[in-house]
Amino acid sequence: MSTLTQKPASRRSVPRWSSAVQFAGVFLGIAGMGCTNPLQEGAIADLGPESPAIPLGPLHRPGQPCLVCHDGAEATELTVAGTIYERADATKPIPDVLVHLVDARGTAYVTATNCAGNFFVRPGDFTPEYPMRVAIERDGFRQEMESPVNVDGSCASCHTNDPSPRSAGRVYLLSVAATLEDRCP
Amino acid sequence: MRRMLLRSLFPLVLPALAVACAPEAEPTDVLLVPSRITYPSVGGALEYRCATLDCHGKPERNLRLYGSSGMRLAAEDVPGDGETTDAEHDASYRSVIGLEPEVLSLVCAEGGNEPERLSLIRKARGEEAHKGGARIVRGDDADRCLISWLAAATDEAACARAAEDQSE
């Protein structure tokens, strides 16, 4: 499905010296890895400092694009992660929401949100092959995402707090009048 | 027949080209493009496969696709709300025809022959390095939709099925 092949035609006409150029490119790439990636650094800085009230861990940074940091270098690698809110227009996160993920191979994985509304998936548990389908569920309420996720495991890359031409708004469970039992302190 | 159809599209295309870029000398040739009229069917087939916000629904991509479930054009429109607008089809269409205009023109002039000359097709099929892998398979509905569009004979039924089967 995702095997990538080069067009052979573009290989044949490559002159000799280009392998030297390629070698230099690889070398530069490696040298570059020692330094930080300015784009990622900027993206991380944009997310602001940790909240002093919340320890670094599963409950931190709700609503943020977790994988910006959780790439295995900057912080522990996660493959899919995000935050789920009660309603589209409310800031209240909800726990115990089941997050159903089904990848291109048809492999299904289910996890649940914690008291920050956060959920996260570790690579040893599930590394999806994209595209991936998403649905969420609790107490008989269910929401499905119609379009698939094609490459990005951070829900908040597309679901930022404010809806805009490039954001679907928060991920929310309730679209009808209902109340959920409060299960968090 | 096909030639005639293409020719009948010339007058539609020329003004757009003339506004976009002023040639230094008199143009000796005209660049052919596939139909804008049937593009919405093609866009529908590409929507979930290609135009999600994490892929070609990003403004920084060369191929930039708009749609109701991805990037929106109007400031008041939000992904997941309403239908893809005509202005959005227009913007996506321009992006598609602007990728490799000369090659596209050749493919169109030859009635859609050897469409894999276009990186659009090679990348969509995963035959050339593509972050999104193979999003269409040679001969499937989405592939037929795209290829038939390039041949000025858009297979509307294939496009409709391709738009349908992505939402299962």
Q: What is the 3-state secondary structure (H, E, C) of A62-111?
A: CCCCHHHCCCCCCCCCCCEEEEEEEECCCCCECCCCEEEEECCCCCEEEE
Residue A8 located in a structural domain: no
Confidence at residue A26, expressed as pLDDT on a 0 to 100 scale: 47
From the list A53, A87, A165, the residue with the least C-alpha distance to B72 is A165
Residues in chain A with pLDDT values less than 50:
1-18, 20-21, 23-32
Domain encompassing residue A156: 56-174
- Phi (first) and psi of residue A135, to 5 degrees: -145, 150
Smallest Cβ–Cβ distance between A6 and the set B70, B128, B132 belongs to B128
Where residue B165 falls among pLDDT bands split at 50, 70, 90?
Answer: confident
Residue A91 located in a structural domain: yes
Residue A140 located in a structural domain: yes
Per DSSP, the three-state class of A156 is: helix
Mean pLDDT of B43-54: 97
State how beta strands A171-174 and A80-87 pair.
Answer: parallel
* Residue A53: exposure state from Cβ atoms within 10 A (0-12, 13-18, ≥19): exposed
Is residue B161's pLDDT more than 80? yes
Count the domains in chain A: 1
Say how many C-beta atoms besides its own lie within 10 A of residue B90's C-beta: 15
Distance from CA of B120 to the nearest CA of A (A): 13
Residue A34 located in a structural domain: no
Is residue B154's pLDDT more than 60? yes
State how beta strands A133-138 and A118-121 pair.
Answer: unpaired
Query: What value of ipTM does the predicted structure carry?
Result: 0.80
Which CATH number covers residue A146? Answer: 2.60.40.10
Please state the pTM of the whole predicted model.
0.85
Residue B2 located in a structural domain: no
Contact B54 A152 (CB under 8 A): yes
Confidence at residue A51, expressed as pLDDT on a 0 to 100 scale: 93
Higher pLDDT, B44 or A37: B44
Is residue B99's pLDDT more than 60? yes
Confidence at residue A9, expressed as pLDDT on a 0 to 100 scale: 39
- B102-126: per-residue pLDDT in tens? 999 999 999 999 999 999 999 999 9
Residue B146 located in a structural domain: yes
Distance from CA of B137 to the nearest CA of A (A): 9
Number of H helices and E strands in chain B, helices first, is: 7, 0
Alpha helices per DSSP H over B21-140: 39-50, 86-97, 101-109, 119-124
Report how far residue B60's alpha carbon sits from residue B58's, in angstroms, rounded to the nearest whole number: 6
Count the domains in chain B: 1
Contact A67, A129 (CB under 8 A): no
Residue B22 located in a structural domain: no
Contact A166, A139 (CB under 8 A): no
Contact A111, B33 (CB under 8 A): no
Mean pLDDT of B59-80: 97
In terms of residues, how long is chain A?
185
Q: For chain A, which residues lie within 8 Å of any Cβ of chain B, measuring from their own Cβ?
A: 1-7, 130-131, 146-152, 157-158, 163-169
* A contacts of B116 (beta carbons < 8 Å): none
Where residue B160 falls among pLDDT bands split at 50, 70, 90?
Answer: very high
CA-based nearest residue in chain B for residue A166 = B71
Residue B98 located in a structural domain: yes
Residue A165 located in a structural domain: yes
Distance from CA of B72 to the nearest CA of A (A): 5
Is residue B159's pLDDT more than 90? yes
Residue B9 located in a structural domain: no
* A contacts of B71 (beta carbons < 8 Å): 165-166
Residue B4 located in a structural domain: no
Domain encompassing residue B73: 29-167
Confidence at residue A74, expressed as pLDDT on a 0 to 100 scale: 94
